[in-house]
């Protein structure tokens, strides 16, 4: 291997969103040299979006020592109301209330900018995070890449990670480097207007409301003195990634006025929440799985690899998991640059892909199915019809399935809560696999609530 120049890192990360920053923090803890370039001028822009964090993401954030700050800012999600357009319940689930007892962590909603700030604050050497970096070129040498930013510095790195979102440049480089045209792997059928409004006395903290309505509808979460809300609109057909309109306030007004009459509860209309908004933005919602996650020492992570609609509240949680899984494989290459050959890196990146692809494919597809059911898309009414029949055990079992098989940081110690997560899930699924086989699906309730509790032998997290 040729001697790398001075400005050399084992890993160059492009993109300082949740995936990129989490990866940077993990690599720092593992002693792997890295630098991160973010094209935006700031690391935690105030875009007024809420992110739902779930136990699988929290377990990794806990390993990184970030849990306390997030918990102090947020409240646990306790009850989820699935309602018709008049706010009358179709189904109510309080399974989320039991997550902490079940696996040690809650579901919680946090402002995206605050989450980014907390992850960033965890990084010791902040000089390695550079903002306003516009990638100009990547040249691949025999042992390392040379990466340049417009009018700025030039660095070299053994591995380039694209944590650069759904419209990833690195994913395109990967396609080009193996002579493959990027196919229609990510497309958009929906748009999302997201915003925040002050809490209302009529709504308790820690509640979620999903209104089932054709064409355009509302999803909302109540936090500490805040309501995070989303308006989804069905575009009627799919658009390629090149479809990326910039929406103005008139576009937002039109859709939000049209759903203003939808009720979250019989007494609270979406229009009342929208009227008090403190922030609002609109975006297209891409969905899909990258066909090629890596090639020639380039790799994608987070939305660049797996983009999903927000309905499973999993995009960021999966981005965090993928960052952990990628770091796990890079760690196994050893600390010394000499271990980082093209062949060993290719094997590591393939192992990372194998570790993540199937799990994340399931989540992308589930999130899409829930979104289509909520928007009453043709052919997706089965899930809505099943809602009133779902028992506590059904909701809980579905959640536990989504926490099962989650990645964590293998070479950092697990906290007591992390161990509890591992033990409880293992104990439950050992029994589940014996009693029910591998059948998964909320259309087929498997357990009575009583049997669920017997099987789960639920402890109580006292941390
Ligand atoms: C409305 C909405 C609601 C959501 N709600 C939830 C939820 O409740 N729970 C959940 O888990 N997930 C949710 N998600 C999904 C979640 O936000 C994403 O999955 C997650 O933020 C992905 O993070 P990322 O770092 O992979 O990508 P991004 O957040 O897209 O970050 C990519 C970063 O790369 C930068 N970048 C792009 N190109 C370059 C380049 N060439 N060089 C350098 N930098 C570059 C961008 O500026 C950006 O900062 C939601 C998403 C949306 C749109």
C-alpha distance across the termini of the chain, in Å:
49
If you average pLDDT over every residue of the chain, what do you get? Answer: 92
Going by pLDDT thresholds of 50, 70 and 90, the confidence category of residue 431 is confident
| Predicted confidence band of residue 445 (pLDDT cuts 50, 70, 90) | very low
463 — pLDDT class (breaks 50, 70, 90): very low
Nearest C-alpha to atom 27 of ligand 1 is from which residue? 165
Cβ(21) – ligand 1 distance below 6 Å? no
Task: Please give the average per-residue pLDDT across 357-381, as a whole number.
Answer: 95
pLDDT tens figures, 65-74:
999 999 999 9
Percent of the chain with pLDDT over 90: 79
The finding on whether 363 has its CB within 6 A of some atom of ligand 1 is no
CA 361 from centre of chain? 13
Ligand 1 atom index nearest CA of 20:
25
For the entire predicted model, the pTM comes to 0.95
360 lines ligand 1 (CB under 6 A): no
Determine whether the shortest distance from the Cβ of 135 to ligand 1 is under 6 A: yes
Q: What is the pLDDT of residue 442?
A: 44
Q: What is the pLDDT of residue 446?
A: 65
In 207-327, at which residue ranges do the beta strands (DSSP E only) sit? 207-211, 216-222, 226-240, 263-265, 268-269, 279-289, 294-295, 298-300, 306-307
Catalytic site residues? 212
Supply 317's token pair: 């949680």
Summarize the confidence of residues 271-285 as an average pLDDT.
Answer: 96
Specify the residue with its C-alpha closest to ligand 1, atom 19: 315
**Per-residue pLDDT reduced to its tens digit, 81-107:** 999 999 999 999 999 999 999 999 999
Fold assignment, 8-184+288-456: FAD/NAD(P)-binding domain (3.50.50)
Answer yes or no: are the C-beta atoms of 23 and 13 closer than 8 Å.
Answer: yes
Tell me the C-alpha distance between 131 and 360, whole Å. 29
């Amino acid at each position: 291997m040729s001697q790398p120049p001075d400005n050399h890192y084992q890993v160059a990360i492009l993109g300082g969103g949740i995936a990129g920053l989490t990866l940077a923090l993990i690599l720092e803890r593992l002693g792997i040299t890295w630098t991160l370039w973010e094209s935006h001028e700031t690391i935690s822009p105030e875009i007024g979006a809420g992110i739902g964090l779930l136990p699988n993401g929290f377990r990794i954030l806990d390993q990184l020592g970030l849990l306390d700050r997030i918990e102090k800012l947020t409240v646990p999600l306790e009850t989820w109301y699935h309602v018709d357009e008049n706010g009358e319940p179709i189904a109510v689930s309080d399974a989320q209330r039991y997550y902490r007892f079940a696996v040690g962590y809650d579901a919680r909603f946090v402002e995206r900018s605050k989450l980014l700030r907390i992850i960033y604050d965890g990084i010791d050497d902040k000089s390695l995070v550079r903002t306003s970096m516009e990638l100009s070129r990547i040249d691949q040498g025999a042992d390392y890449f040379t990466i340049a930013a417009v009018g700025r510095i030039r660095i070299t790195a053994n591995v380039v990670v694209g944590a650069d979102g759904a419209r990833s440049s690195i994913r395109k480089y990967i396609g080009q480097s193996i002579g493959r045209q990027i196919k229609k792997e990510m497309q958009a059928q929906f748009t999302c207007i997201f915003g925040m409004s002050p809490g209302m006395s009529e709504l308790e903290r820690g509640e979620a409301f999903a209104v089932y309505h054709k064409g355009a509808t509302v999803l909302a979460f109540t936090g500490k003195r805040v309501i995070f809300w989303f308006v989804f609109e069905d575009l009627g057909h799919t658009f390629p990634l090149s479809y990326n309109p910039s929406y103005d306030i008139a576009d937002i007004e039109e859709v939000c006025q049209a759903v203003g009459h939808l009720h979250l509860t019989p007494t609270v209309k979406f229009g009342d929440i929208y009227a008090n908004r403190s922030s609002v933005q609109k975006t297209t919602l891409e969905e899909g799985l990258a066909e090629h996650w890596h090639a020639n020492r380039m790799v994608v992570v987070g939305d660049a690899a797996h983009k999903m609609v927000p309905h499973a509240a999993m995009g960021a949680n999966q981005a965090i998991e993928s960052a952990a899984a990628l770091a796990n494989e890079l760690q196994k290459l050893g600390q010394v640059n000499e271990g980082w050959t093209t062949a060993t890196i290719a094997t590591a990146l393939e192992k990372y892909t194998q570790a993540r692809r199937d799990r994340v494919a399931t989540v992308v597809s589930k999130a899409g199915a829930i979104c289509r059911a909520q928007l009453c898309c043709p052919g997706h009414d089965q899930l809505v019809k099943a809602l009133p029949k779902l028992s506590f055990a059904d909701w809980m079992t579905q959640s536990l399935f989504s926490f099962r098989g989650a990645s964590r940081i293998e070479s950092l110690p697990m906290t007591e809560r992390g161990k509890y997560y591992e033990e409880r899930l293992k104990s439950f699924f050992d029994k589940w696999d014996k009693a029910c086989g591998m059948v998964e699906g909320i259309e087929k309730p498997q357990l009575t609530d009583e049997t669920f509790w017997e099987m789960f032998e639920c402890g109580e997290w006292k941390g």
